[in-house]
Structure 1
């Protein structure tokens, strides 16, 4: 992401930004809306001025954190495929979606407004997550462990439904059981 001026970001500034976004995601997941910018800067190991130079408003920090975390989540599909068979990689990725939601709930009010007002952000999120599911699904079909007749969009919609009805931290066990049911529906019975 370029600096607000449009100029490229120096390597040290990029490292600070990554630290800030990682700390912000953790703080929003841990403290919800009560997460303070001062604590986020402290957790990132930078001064509050560094945070405000890069993210002058809380809304800009929420937006950047959401984009950063969504991109990281989507990129994890390839990492998981390098470590696990495709069906297990898909299931592990789905659990990471639940982890991702913990961050979203901490930014819920601001994020809702951002997503309603920025169709490009909503579209970009759908594209990234659909791409990750398609990568995992395609690998599973190729390996013969995932049904070929279930489109990625259906998998993503079912996953979204699970997160909608059982996406809070106290519902985690139920959400995991529902993910197992989803996997039973999309994996080949002879796997």
Structure 2
């Protein structure tokens, strides 16, 4: 891609990110083009479909989540790694209102432009969950699909004005339901105090 084309591409992504953060994933493509100072045809030349635009916008965030999972595997306790990654996933999904529905659809559709990034991101979270389960630090009756669904639900809560104030509390409730304290793994240890 030529330097000027790359500059235009990056500018469109920056503006699209701002508009979609404000209005959600169903934001008007005309509005994105207008705010970028270009015609709709120019936007479509760079991103032929809404999904192509969202894939370009979200791929970086999803790839960062996948890379973060790898770094956490190497540097943090399994339970801390999973909780940290889960919180960052929820924040990422909440950043672009309405993206959870797209992510769920993309994972089920191999033809989706978002499929590969969503699958890689879910796989990264699954590895962290499996690692915590192997250490006895996470419940074993859930899998990566369940984790993805719970994280998506938590992100959805943030999108609901009447529930957003409860989102941090509910994150803690869900995280404590997934994770086991080290003391609960050892039958001889005293029970953990209720949270």
Is the contact made by 1:73 and 1:97 (CA closer than 8 Å) also made in structure 2?
yes
The aligned runs of 1:27-176 (5 Å cut-off) are 27-32=19-24, 33=27, 36-39=32-35, 41=36, 53-56=45-48, 58=50, 60-105=52-97, 115=105, 119-120=109-110, 121=112, 124=116, 127-164=119-156, 166-168=157-159, 170=161, 171-176=163-168
1:109-148 CA distance string (max 9 Å, x none): 9x59xx48x8222754652243022121133235543234
State the alpha-carbon separation in 2 of the partners of residues 108 and 138 from structure 1. 23
State the alpha-carbon separation in 1 of the partners of residues 75 and 9 from structure 2. 28
Change (3 A) 1:36 1:21: closer
Aligned to 2:174: 182
**Equivalenced residues, count:** 173
Change (3 A) 1:51 1:153: same
Structure 1 runs not aligned, ≥5 long? 1-8
TM-score normalised by length of structure 2 = 0.61
Change (3 A) 1:69 1:63: same
State the alpha-carbon separation in 2 of the partners of residues 134 and 167 from structure 1. 23
1:167 is paired with a residue whose SS is helix
Q: Which runs of 4+ in 1 moved over 6 A?
A: 10-16, 47-50, 106-109
State the alpha-carbon separation in 1 of the partners of residues 16 and 43 from structure 2. 10
TM-score normalised by length of structure 1 = 0.62
State the alpha-carbon separation in 1 of the partners of residues 136 and 11 from structure 2. 40
> Which gives a bigger RCO, structure 1 or 2 (Cα 8 Å, sep 6+)?
1
1:29-76 CA distance string (max 9 Å, x none): 13442662354x58xxxx889866532555532343244433333333
Shift of 1:15: 7.9
State the alpha-carbon separation in 1 of the partners of residues 100 and 146 from structure 2. 25
| Structure with bigger gyration radius | 2
